[in-house]
Amino acid sequence: MTNFLRRSLLACALAAVLPAALSVNAYAADWPSRPIRLVVSYPAGGVSDVVARALGEKLTAALGQSVVVDNKAGAGGAIGLDLVAKSNPDGYTLGFSSISPLTLSPHLGKPLFDAHKDIVPVVSVMYSPVLLLGTTRSTAASFPELIAQAKAHPGDVRWATAGLASLGHIMLEQIADQSRTQITHVPYKGGGQQLNDGLSAQFEVLSTNAGPAVMQHIKAGKFKALAVGAPSRLDTLPNVPTLAELGYKSANMTSVFGIFAPAGVPAPILARLNAEVNKALALPDVRQRLEATDNVPTGGKAADFAKQIEAESRANAQIIKAAKIQLN
């Protein structure tokens, strides 16, 4: 091949690629030109909904377009992320969810979407401790006492979670397997209705993320904090042991939440979203709202978030296989 021919082929290739690249950059430069839909994978009223709306307010101010929260609950968060994964990758539909639909659901049955190909992590937002709470129907004064009751009366202890394949469900299954007890799983579509039914004592125990409403109900004596999934005891609940302290190290987990987009959104838009969310998480009022209820703001690079999700997915696959967890 002559040098002239090589140069001609290169020129043709560049001529084909450059218009598309310029078009993407021009599109990204004009984004956003209309409201953005932020799909929250859980019902209104839970901690994820509260945080998503707080971020939506900050992004609305930063981007100059309204960020509208749309709650789409179900299947442990997978329904909402499935909607995002199948949306037009134009930057106008985003998702706010825990990472469970990406790290748990694919190992527990036929997933609604491909966690590796159909959706991309934009930015990590926070991690949230998981509280195990006794309702007024439970007579257990501690978590070991609850387990003792479950052993003495198989199936009588009912444990409510945010849904099938949710983090709470996996923690329940691990604890039941390790303690060799039979605990009845009561799955919900998210935290809001689960809390309401817990307040009316429709079951004995629930697992839920830390949040303003939850802490208020604990202080009022409507729930009793029995244990927490967290790296260490919470400053707000210093007498409540972690699951690791109680001997359930593999079940001592926290919920990680972030913002996601359908695969194919132009890189400049993803980069701007990442930057704006990081700026929002650095604001004192946002950090204070999260930290006041033991939720820890994270932020960081999208690539690091993706690596975290992949690592947790591998670890969960091993846990699920070892505990023989299945969705009925």
Span 115-157, pLDDT tens digits:
999 999 999 999 999 999 999 999 999 999 999 999 999 999 9
pLDDT in tens, 249-299: 989 999 999 999 999 999 999 999 999 999 999 999 999 888 887 889 999
Pairing of strands 67-71, 119-134: unpaired
Return the closest-CA partner of residue 142 out of 215, 235, 233, 240. Answer: 240
Q: What pLDDT score was predicted for residue 145?
A: 97
Task: Tell the residue number behind the tokens 């299954």, with chain if given.
Answer: 173
For residues 295 and 15, which has the higher predicted lDDT (pLDDT)? Answer: 295
Return the closest-CA partner of residue 272 out of 37, 36, 39, 28. Answer: 28
pLDDT band at 28 (very low <50, low <70, confident <90, very high): confident
Q: What pLDDT score was predicted for residue 251?
A: 92
Q: What is the pTM of this model?
A: 0.81
Task: Tell the residue number behind the tokens 């109900």, with chain if given.
Answer: 217
Pairing of strands 36-40, 296-297: unpaired
Contact yes or no for 97/77 (Cβ under 8 A):
yes
For residues 153 and 193, which has the higher predicted lDDT (pLDDT)? Answer: 153
